[in-house]
Structure 1
Amino acid sequence: MNLFSDIRSLVIASLQDSGVLNDAPDANLDPITVEPPRDAAHGDMATNAAMVLAKPLRQKPRDIAETLAAVLVKDDRIASAEVAGPGFLNLRLAAGVWQGLPSAVLAQGKDFGRSSLGQGKKVNVEFVSANPTGPMHVGHARGAIVGDAMASLLDFAGFDVTREYYINDGGAQVDVLARSVYLRYLEAHGQEVEFADGTYPGDYLVPVGEALKAKVGDDYLDKGEQYWLADVREFATDAMMDLIRADLKALGVEMDHFFSEKSLYGTGKIEAAIQTLDEKGLIYRGVLEPPKGKKPEDWEPREQTLFKSTEHGDDVDRPIMKSDGSWTYFAPDIAYHYDKVARGFDLLIDIFGADHGGYVKRMKAAVSALSDGKVPLDIKLLQLVKLYKNGEPFKMSKRAGTFVTLRDVVDMVGPDVARFHMLTRKNDAALDFDFDKVVEQSKENPVFYVQYAHARVCSVIRKAADEGMDVSDASLAKADLSGMTHDAELTLARKIAEWPRLVEIAAKGNEPHRIATFLSELAAELHALWNRGNDEPELRFVQGDEATTQAKIALARATAVVISAGLAILGVTPMEEMR
């Protein structure tokens, strides 16, 4: 059930029935919308139909709106249709529409709001993809949460979603990891070691060095790295990925697929991707212009192998092979995305840190070229998370040596709090995370406010059940809500009705933060109705008779159904009681 979609269909049908489309039968109706008005006092819904059709029909918008209004009010669902401003049409729905909403929600249960928008299209959401050189930091936590919630949102909206982690195990940083583990290995053998600049001194490598000792004994002692580097590199990478998987699991994130960058080298996959671009006439030998602005003193023109990315929307062409014949960092990324395209995904989504902003256009250009423009790539950039405790910046993690880890955050506030708060801002907005404020039990704390709303509904259901009333979903779905006429109750019903529409809007924009915002608004309406019941007994959910109580609780339970569904998308537990 999607009331906004249903009323939009009614608007389209009414336009056809009114005859206003006779002069422009091929007019594009796609831009016509039905949405909540900016001012709730203007009505329940508003449509721009007359504004959209004014030009193709060569008529005044108000004239079209008045004709449309006359047809719409003939439908039992429309109580009134009023023309406003230059031609917007404000609609008020009949009370029976809102009174029937809770029953419809309870009949659908957790599937209320689930959409067929995605039509089963295959989507690859790549997120986190941290270098396997240590525990994940708080920035990775935000990426993991946003990516996981986005994947759940798209699944709810009807897409076939794969969560993917790209293991950056092909670069020199993994050699540095191996050397750092070797130092811990020597330390496990009782030797004193010194961590040179560039190595990883965090305590998290102590057990890895000890595990390496347990595996190989003293085989690597007093040996050059040509003897042990490759083996230790693999051993250390596996150990770090085990650590990363455990941290992700603590946050409630499980990946569907892990892809190794190393698997691209020596297998012909990079060469195949570049050859595909070459066959499209997009690879050439050339010299790039110097960087814009002040030219570096050591800059000199060098012939390189370049990808003609400007033909697919990039600002400049990009090097994919250095003058010495080695691949640039961009080349394996091209091959990786070529592999995604070859796997048959209809849409690709990458979630990067803000420092990857310069990578967006070149990566989109590569995917566009590799897929002949058939596979869109959406790249979401994550801004920084600023950590505070007692109002002061919070920076250090002894375990990591240099930063606050993902596990630090989970251990201090729990996965539910971490996940909800990381989703209260859009991905490209900086986020302040205060360890004290995020666990406060107050209405200023959104996760508490939403979970408290769900717990309140559960409490009134328990109370009614204790009094011997039948408050099962099956019975509540059959309740008579014809007495639901108070504005506070109708306002809550109107907010519930927005859920299916909100899901589709959030899914179209790949914006899971919209779910968190909506849940906060819905919880506020539930709390407002609850609080009014303190002064107006007729608004209380538990009344003196079963029939009235069932009607009241049906609305509350419908609210809880939506809250539970929304929290599931965010990966947050709906609380049944608060302690």
Structure 2
Amino acid sequence: MTLNIFATIRARVVAAVATLHPGLAADVLARIQVEPPRDPAHGDMATNAALVCAKPAGLPPRAFAEALAAALAEAPEIAQAGTAGPGFVNFHLRDAVWRGQIPAILAAGEAYGDSTLGERRRVDVEYVSANPTGPMHVGHCRGAVVGDALARLLAKGGWDVTREYYINDAGAQVQALGWAAYWRYLEALGTPLTEEEFSALVPGGLQYRGEYLSPVGVALAELNGDALAPGAMPADPALWLDIVRDFTVAAMMTEIRVDLAALGVEHDVFISEAALIAAGTVTRAMTLLAAKGLIYQGVLEPPKGKTPEDWEPREQTLFRATQFGDDVDRPLRKSDGSNTYFANDIANHADKIERGHQELVHVWGADHGGYVKRMAAAVAALSDGAVKLDVVLCQIVRVMKDGEPVRMSKRAGSYITLRDLIEEVGRDAVRFTMLTRKSDAQMDFDLNAVVEQSRENPVFYVQYAHARARSVLRAAGEPEAAELAEAKLELLVEPSELDLIRKLAAWPRTVEQAALAREPHRVAFYLHDLAAAFHLSWNRGRDDSTLRFIREEEPESTRARLALVAATAVVIRSGLAVMGVDPVEEMR
């Protein structure tokens, strides 16, 4: 039997429908779903088969459902089937089917839940991609964790995943970073200027003032001496500022990599925006769109809310974004003739498509929500609709302690760094907590709560379940999985035991559903529910000695319960691996 019991039963339903109505088209059968009913009292599973197949079959949904329920009642896995509502079919599985999942879990180990759903399709997951203008902060942290967990989830779901960091190292912000590092360089030479004095010399003023650039200034001084000092270099900064800028970007990316490593976040490739521009990728992408007739010279309508006096119509180079679902066509060049950021971003996506990726996933801050439609339009245009872009938006995180917002970091100067957060509560607590809410929901990260040892702390609650399971197995002498798989599982008859098995069997479906929805927080929710079911069984044994996991006077039932405990530990580890969180062997 397949490791995904829901897939097994769905196949049984599809076969029953095809037997009852052999003329139904494949696309109709593909819409059949099997999932848990909203109310567990209605059964173990429910199917919409009658609702999607009745009309093509020329029958009322209820009549179709009643015939299907009768057919499914004859299936060896199904104990009882019945109809509900407008045409749903609900059914209970035989207890032996649920128990049969335990040996499958023990045999698979942490690979339990692995799926072929993705069919090894190549997906590029781009996340973090913070401007290299300062340390990683809490805002970056949530996107980093969500992106990394999503990449792990897609890999488990059967996709061929590339984890990508896009380095925004072109444009005005990076130039401003170069000037800020030069200020720190002068400071390291012993010829400092005040912020006011230096700002007066810099186009746009001094934008980055954090202490994190002081080591960069020192490194520049050690490498170059006073060769970059005023008077030693040409008066025109365009002839030498790139040296400082490139050195600073490299230094900042080194720091970012260190921060990401501390968080357990991995990337396979780092793609430089400046390198793409230098390689002519922007030009190639624009040429491709122009050849498709998707670039033109035109004048946009005034933005909503602007009066005629506020609006100066001018001809621009535009991309026909509205042809692909966007609200307006989008400019590709600025008034000075340089490319817009959107043009460079099109090149970024063209590069991903050229590298053979069939799906693109981005994790962005919620403030980029207005950018989604235009980027999706560009990807559709570049790939002729063959490549889909999914964007996962992450809302801001507010760090709290003792009921108050935490003050800014001294090192960064204006925000809480990722390094601060990890040092305060640890990597696993940061990662798990960041996944306890849907990414587009705002979050308060309570420093007190994430270290609290109580049921209200989901990190502790799940880790404690694994630690409890491991303590039981150690007390039993660490029995081998193969030995436990031979246990007399028919001895598992308690409702709490069967409920726990049902939770375990839901893991493969959870992986697939979360991967399709691009929602790794579902894994955290699942693990919390699984932990609750395990803690319930543990507590029942504490209250009633006959329900304890280990009873020396009942070796067979003990072995069956140990198999259940071992399977629970396996699934918790499998889920935590997707979240990038280490399982805990014992709680101290």
TM-score, normalization by structure 2: 0.95
Alignment match of 1:352 (pick from 360, 364, 376): 364
- Partner Cα separation in structure 1 for residue 4 and residue 148 of structure 2: 25
Superposition map of 1:509-548 within 5 A = 509-544=517-552, 545-548=554-557
Paired position in structure 1 for 2:130: 130
Q: Which one-letter code corresponds to 1:301 in the other structure? A: P
Structure 1 letter corresponding to 2:567: A
Partner of 1:376: 388
Question: What is the rounded CA distance, in whole Å, between the counterparts of 2:405 and 2:62 in structure 1?
Answer: 56
Q: Report how far residue 351 of structure 1 moved.
A: 1.2
Matched, 1:577 2:579: no
Contact kept in structure 2, 1:387 and 1:432, CA below 8 Å: yes
Percent of residue pairs bearing the same amino acid type? 57
Is residue 369 of structure 2 the alignment partner of residue 361 of structure 1? no
Q: Aligned partners of 2:375 and 2:255: how far apart in 1?
A: 29
1:480 CA displacement: 1.2
In 2, are the aligned partners of 1:46 and 1:90 still within 8 Å (CA)?
Answer: yes
Q: Contact 2:392–2:439 at 8 Å: present in 1 too? A: yes
| 3-state secondary structure, aligned to 2:337 | coil
Shift of 1:25: 5.9
Partner of 2:297: 285
Residues 129 and 165 in structure 1, CA contact (< 8 A), matched pair in contact too: yes
Change (3 A) 1:23 1:276: closer
Shift of 1:236: 0.5
Distance in 2 (CA, whole Å) between partners of 1:174 and 1:323 is 21
Query: 1:36 is matched with which residue?
Result: 36
Q: 1:114 to 1:24 in 2, by over 3 A?
A: closer
Aligned match of 2:172: 172
Whole-angstrom CA distance in 2 between matches of 1:340 and 1:380: 18
Q: Which ranges of structure 2 fall in alignment gaps of 5 or more residues?
A: 200-204
For structure 1, which segment, 166-175 or 26-35, has the greater mean C-alpha deviation from structure 2 after superposition?
26-35
Aligned-pair CA distance for 1:538: 2.2
Name the counterpart of 2:288: 276
Partners of 2:24 and 2:126 lie apart in 1 by 45
Q: Which amino acid aligns with 2:4?
A: N
Deviation at 1:393, TM superposition (A): 1.1
Give the Cα–Cα distance (whole angstroms) in 1 for the partners of residues 417 and 179 of structure 2.
Answer: 22
Q: How does 1:467-482 map to 2 (within 5 A)?
A: 471-482=479-490
1:432/1:89 CA distance change after superposition, 3 Å: same
Q: CA deviation at 1:8?
A: 0.8
Q: Which residue of 2 aligns with 1:5?
A: 7
- The answer (yes or no) to whether the contact 1:43–1:91 under 8 Å persists in 2 is yes
Once residues 329 and 211 of structure 1 are traced to their aligned partners in structure 2, the CA distance between those partners, rounded to angstroms, is 31
Once residues 252 and 463 of structure 1 are traced to their aligned partners in structure 2, the CA distance between those partners, rounded to angstroms, is: 32
Does the CA-based 8 Å contact 2:180-2:206 persist in structure 1? no
- How is 1:367-516 mapped onto 2 (pairs within 5 angstroms)? 367-465=379-477, 471-516=479-524
Amino acid aligned to 1:538: T
Deviation at residue 45 of structure 1 after TM alignment: 1.0
Inter-CA distance 479–184: structure 2 relative to 1 (3 Å threshold) = same
Deviation at 1:306, TM superposition (A): 0.6
Aligned to 1:204: 212
For residues 522 and 308 of structure 2, the distance between their equivalents in structure 1, rounded to whole angstroms, comes to 44
CA RMSD of aligned residues (A): 1.5
Q: Kindly state the Cα deviation for residue 550 of structure 1 after the two structures are TM-superposed.
A: 1.5
How far is the alpha carbon of 1:299 from its aligned partner?
2.9
Q: Secondary structure at the match of 1:388?
A: strand
Quote how far apart the aligned CAs of 1:554 are: 0.7
Distance 1:477 1:296, change over 3 A: farther
Residue 222 to residue 373, structure 1, CA distance change in 2 (3 Å): same
CA offset at residue 47 of structure 1? Answer: 1.3
Which residue of structure 1 lines up, in the alignment, with residue 143 of structure 2? 143
Secondary structure at the counterpart of residue 539 of structure 2: helix
Amino acid at match of 2:570: V
Cα 1:403–1:531, aligned 2, differ >3 Å: closer, same or farther? same
What residue is the counterpart of 1:558 in the other structure? Answer: 567
CA contact (8 A) 1:27 1:56 kept: no
Q: Does 1:300 align with 2:312?
A: yes
SS state at 2:332 partner: strand
Structure 1 unaligned residues grouped into runs of 5+: none
Matches within 5 A, 1:63-212: 63-195=63-195, 196=199, 197-212=205-220
Give the CA deviation at 1:24: 4.4
SS of the aligned residue for 2:466 comes to: helix
Q: What CA deviation, in whole Å up to 9, does each residue of 1:341-392 have, x standing for no partner?
A: 1110000011111111111111111110000000001111111111111110
Which residue in the other structure is 2:202 paired with?
Answer: none
Pairwise CA distance, 1:536: 1.9
Contact 2:177 2:248 in 1 (8 A): yes
Q: Aligned equivalents of 2:438 and 2:193: distance in 1?
A: 45
- Stretch deviating more after TM superposition (196-205 or 24-33): 24-33
Q: Distance in 1 between matches of 2:280 and 2:22?
A: 60
In the alignment, is residue 315 of structure 1 matched against residue 327 of structure 2? yes
1:27–1:53 CA contact under 8 A, matched in 2:
no
Q: Distance between the aligned counterparts of 1:24 and 1:351, measured in 2?
A: 40
Deviation at 1:284, TM superposition (A): 0.6
- Say which SS state the counterpart of residue 179 (structure 1) adopts: helix
Give the letter aligned to residue 10 of structure 1. R
Residue 220 of structure 1 and its aligned partner are, at CA, apart by: 1.5
The one of 256, 276, 287 aligned to 1:264: 276
Distance in 1 between residues matched to 2:524 and 2:36, nearest whole Å: 18
Q: Alignment partner of 2:67: what SS?
A: helix
1:214 aligns with 2:243: no
Please give the per-residue CA displacement for 1:316-338, whole angstroms capped at 9, x wherever unaligned: 00110123321111111111111
CA contact (8 A) 1:115 1:500 kept: yes
Give the letter for the 1:210 counterpart: V
State the partner residue of 1:324.
336
| Offset of residue 23 of structure 1 | 6.1
One-letter amino acid of the counterpart of residue 567, structure 1: L
**Quick check: 1:302–1:323 contact (8 Å CA) kept in 2?**
no
**Alignment CA distance shift 1:202-1:91 (3 Å):** same
**Equivalent pair of 2:492/2:557 in contact (CA under 8 Å):** no
State the 1:264 CA deviation. Answer: 2.5
Shift in alpha-carbon separation, 1:162–1:25, aligned structure 2, 3 A: closer
Task: Classify 1:227/1:318 alpha carbon distance in 2 versus 1 (closer, same or farther; 3 Å).
Answer: closer
Note the alpha carbon deviations across 1:435-473, whole angstroms, 9 max, x for none. Answer: 1111111000111100100000000001111xxxx6111
1:105 corresponds to which letter in structure 2? I
Deviations 1:470-505 (A, max 9, x none): 611121111111111110000001111111111110
> Displacement, 1:39?
1.1
- 1:8-35, CA deviations, whole angstroms, 9 ceiling, x for partnerless residues? 1111112233x3x146466711221111
Q: 1:504 to 1:221 in 2, by over 3 A?
A: same
User: Could you report, residue by residue, the CA deviation over 1:18-66 in whole angstroms, capped at 9, with x for unpaired residues?
Assistant: x3x1464667112211111111111111112122222122222222222
The structure-2 alpha-carbon separation of the partners of 1:455 and 1:204, relative to structure 1 and needing over 3 Å to count, comes to same
Query: For 1:203-248, what per-residue CA distance to the aligned partner results, in whole angstroms no more than 9, with x for missing partners?
Result: 1111111111111111112244345311111110100000000000
Equivalent position amino acid for 1:421 in 2: T
CA–CA distance in structure 2, aligned partners of residues 8 and 282 of structure 1: 44
Tell me how far apart the structure 2 counterparts of residues 63 and 283 of structure 1 sit (CA, whole Å): 55
Q: List per-residue Cα deviations over 1:186-207 (Å, max 9, x = no partner).
A: 1112233323354211111111
Corresponding residue pairs, total: 573
TM superposition shift of 1:295:
3.3
The answer to whether the Cα contact below 8 Å between 2:397 and 2:444 also exists between their aligned partners in 1 is yes
